[in-house]
Amino acid sequence: MLNSARYTYRGGAAGLAPGTSFASSGQDSGGDANTSTGGSYAASAASTPLGTGNNLICALSSEDRDVQLYPNPQECLLTLADSIASVKGIRAVSAEIPHTSFTLVKPRLYFSELHDGAWIPFFAGASSGNYDVNSFTTVLNASTLNAVCLADSFATPRNRYDISYSEDWGCMCIASDRACDFTIQFRRNNVRVSSASISNTAAGQFVVVVISDHQADPLSVGAGVQFTAGVKNAPVGCVVSKVDGNALSLSVIPSVKTATPTPTLAEGGGVGPNYLALARGGLISAFGTDVDGTVIPVATTAALAPFSGVAGFDNLGDALGFGTLKDRTIDALGTNAIAGLQSPFDDATGAVLITTHQPHFCTRGDVVRISNSGTFLDDVHEVTSAVDDTHLTIVPLTQPFVDTMPALVVWTGVDAAGQPVDSPVCFDLVESAAVSGMGDGEFTLEMSLKEKTDFDVASFVGKRVAFAATSLQWAYAEASFAAITTTPGSAFPDRAILTVKYPTWLVSTTSTTFERVGNALIPSFSQDNEYFPCRIVSPGRFDFSRRRRFVYVAMTVEGAQVGNVLHPALEGKRMFARVPLAAGQSVVNFVNRDWLDGAVEFATPLTRLKDISFALYDASGAIYNGQNAEWSITLEFALSA
């Protein structure tokens, strides 16, 4: 062992007023008092001052461990340079722990595509490392272009995918051009199977299993699974081909072999761990029969193990905010409702401001479609700017709007009942029209007029104009003739200027929808020019720090684990200290006594202390992944007088 621990002697409790105990100094021990830890030592929350004698401050570092015996710095034994006698209490003073809150370990996104009637599972992988959300979505988008097929080595993705995020809302969005149907797999835990049988009909050869799970529809069509009928049965690779309530039809991929592949570019260099290479096969090779109706005996342990739950790889369900309880199917993919639709004539550039109910996940150059607004804006448009998560602008073509202009009705006065009197001569008057200027809720129409022998120019200049149509978009308009002129060589008044007032905001209903159908990198997102509402927004917030917000320090002395801090996932175990990780991606996270929970008092003072074992855990109960970085902790030892 390396003996390089350093000491500092200090009279009284460090940082505490005389007579103040650790338990009363504002530290939250996180556990109960007088807790037995096993062995010959009992740990309890301090009831008397620990610092009535000389205190010893000692800085310990994982660098001082025997690396041959303890290669992982997160699990090691540290030996003090000199033994300490009569130790009645220990308190954590400070800690320096590498911050890996945004670390993803071999992250994978699992998805399946429907190719010519058969579902094919894929995964898009990225290398382990520290990511912010922007860099990670960039890497993941690139990896979808080279996704690895889990059922057919010759299959490649047919869809183009685009993964984006909303910083303000904390949501992720997965969109596709939907060249073919697709599903996304996030389920991590096994799904229990209560019965299984062979189905061999004209519809195909399947194994039909009945599942039992607390979560409705835990697996989607296209999900890759391994079906294990019992402890003595070999797992059979399958793909879910049909979901009918709790009955799943599985297409068998029975030839399963272990291979050590060359890793994908996205997953980094070097040879990766073994994984299951799957080749297509039949029911006979998997179950010994293909007779329709044959019941396959299943044990109480029978289950479907999803490919997306394979150990050693970070399932992105939690990190991206989708959760890991169930997969996501095409039924869950939908559109965004428009909350507000600005008039195209309120801005001199013709820009239209759109307000959406949910994050739109768009950027400049993306292609979007508006539907069911009842206006000429029901079309495909290019995004000119993304103001924020729920506001963006487009610049639509206004000529389609003008081309739908109905016949004009000019109000020449009112009748005895006060109703407008119109001039029939204005019907079928306009030959063509074009917008010549717009802004502040008005636009100008330059119109070519048809010849009307009884047209009285003076009677109509300055008169109010209505539009003879039930069209919602023209019902908003109010207009008047600004001028009616005769161009040189014309025998009749053939030119008119119409000033049209238009409301700033158009009426929008819940049926008015908004879709992103293409992005700036792939302008032609749909090869057949048919656009689909194919995006899925995470129901929760993306969070790369799950299970990594706190580090729990287990400490063992004299063969007994001591401490007062409860661990949320390790029942019956007490930790010595709970270390919060600060926000951000600092290489080293320093925490002082004001933020640490960690103090223990021994009912019987330790006669002599030389070796201390440490283990660092994350909130899931697993050993904290510090990426092999070293860490340190400073302890205060209270000695008996």
Which residue, chain included where needed, has tokens 């019965």? 195
Burial of 496 (0-12, 13-18, 19+ CB in 10 A): buried
Residue 190 in tokens: 């096994």
The amino acid at 86:
S
Residues 36 and 156: their CA atoms lie apart, in Å, by 58
What residues contact 471, with CB distance under 8 A and at least 6 apart?
A: 374, 404, 406
Residue ranges in the chain whose pLDDT is less than 50? 1-52, 254-280, 521-533, 583-587
The amino acid at 112:
S
What residues contact 390, with CB distance under 8 A and at least 6 apart?
A: 339, 355, 356, 357, 358, 359, 360
Which residue, chain included where needed, has tokens 């978009």? 473
| 448, β-bridge pairs | 432, 495
**Count of helices and strands (H, E) across the chain:** 6, 45
| CA-closest candidate to residue 600, choices 631, 556, 568 | 556
* Continuous H helices in 387-465: 399-403, 457-460
Distances, alpha carbon 130 to alpha carbons 103, 127, 440, 544, 625, in Å? 4, 10, 49, 9, 12
Distances, alpha carbon 328 to alpha carbons 107, 182, 228, 331, in Å? 18, 9, 23, 8
DSSP secondary-structure letter at 316?
H
DSSP secondary-structure letter at 400?
H
Confidence (pLDDT) at 476: 75
Which residue, chain included where needed, has tokens 């029901």? 378
For the chain, the farthest-separated pair of C-alpha atoms sits apart, in whole angstroms, at 119
Q: By the 8 A CB rule, do 298 and 196 touch?
A: yes
Confidence (pLDDT) at 38: 33
Query: Torsions phi, psi of 457, nearest 5?
Result: -55, -50
What pTM value is reported for the model? 0.58
Kindly write down the DSSP assignment for every residue of 124-160, as one continuous string. EE--SEE--HHHHHHHHHHHHTTPEESS-TT----S-
Residues 604 and 89: their CA atoms lie apart, in Å, by 10
Residues 338 and 391: their CA atoms lie apart, in Å, by 10
* Per-residue pLDDT tens digits for 23-57: 333 333 333 333 333 333 333 333 334 444 578 88
Confidence (pLDDT) at 233: 83
What residues contact 313, with CB distance under 8 A and at least 6 apart?
A: 105, 106, 107, 108, 125
| CA-closest candidate to residue 130, choices 105, 108, 153 | 105
Give the H or E element holding residue 231: none
What residues contact 43, with CB distance under 8 A and at least 6 apart?
A: 35, 36, 37, 562, 563, 564, 574, 600, 601, 602, 603
Query: Torsions phi, psi of 197, nearest 5?
Result: -155, 165
Q: How far is CA 68 from the centre of its chain?
A: 40
Strands 161-166 and 513-518: unpaired
Q: By the 8 A CB rule, do 378 and 525 touch?
A: no
Residues 145 and 135: their CA atoms lie apart, in Å, by 16
Q: Do you know the residue count of the chain?
A: 641
Residue 600 in tokens: 């223990």
Q: By the 8 A CB rule, do 247 and 208 touch?
A: yes
Q: How far is CA 19 from the centre of its chain?
A: 51
Confidence (pLDDT) at 16: 34
6-101+551-639 and 336-397+512-535 agree in CATH topology: no
Which residue, chain included where needed, has tokens 């954590």? 92
Domain covering 6-101+551-639 assigned CATH 2.60.120 in the classification: yes
| CA-closest candidate to residue 348, choices 440, 441, 439, 444 | 439
Residues 21 and 342: their CA atoms lie apart, in Å, by 65
Boundaries of every domain in the chain: 6-101+551-639, 104-333, 336-397+512-535, 400-504
Kindly write down the DSSP assignment for every residue of 612-633, as one continuous string. EEEEEE-TTSSBP--TT---EE
| CA-closest candidate to residue 29, choices 90, 88, 76 | 90
How many other CB atoms are there within 10 angstroms of residue 481's CB atom? 21
What residues contact 249, with CB distance under 8 A and at least 6 apart?
A: 199, 206, 207, 208, 240, 241, 242, 243
* Per-residue pLDDT tens digits for 75-130: 999 998 888 999 999 999 888 887 655 567 788 999 999 998 889 999 999 887 76
Strands 224-228 and 236-244: antiparallel
**Considering only the top CATH level, what class is 336-397+512-535?**
mainly beta
Confidence (pLDDT) at 100: 52
Confidence (pLDDT) at 468: 72
Angle, alpha carbons 359-362-367 (nearest 5°): 130
Residues 555 and 74: their CA atoms lie apart, in Å, by 12
| CA-closest candidate to residue 610, choices 73, 85, 53 | 85
Residue 486 in tokens: 């005769």
The amino acid at 426:
C
Query: Torsions phi, psi of 191, nearest 5?
Result: -115, 125
Residues 192 and 196: their CA atoms lie apart, in Å, by 11
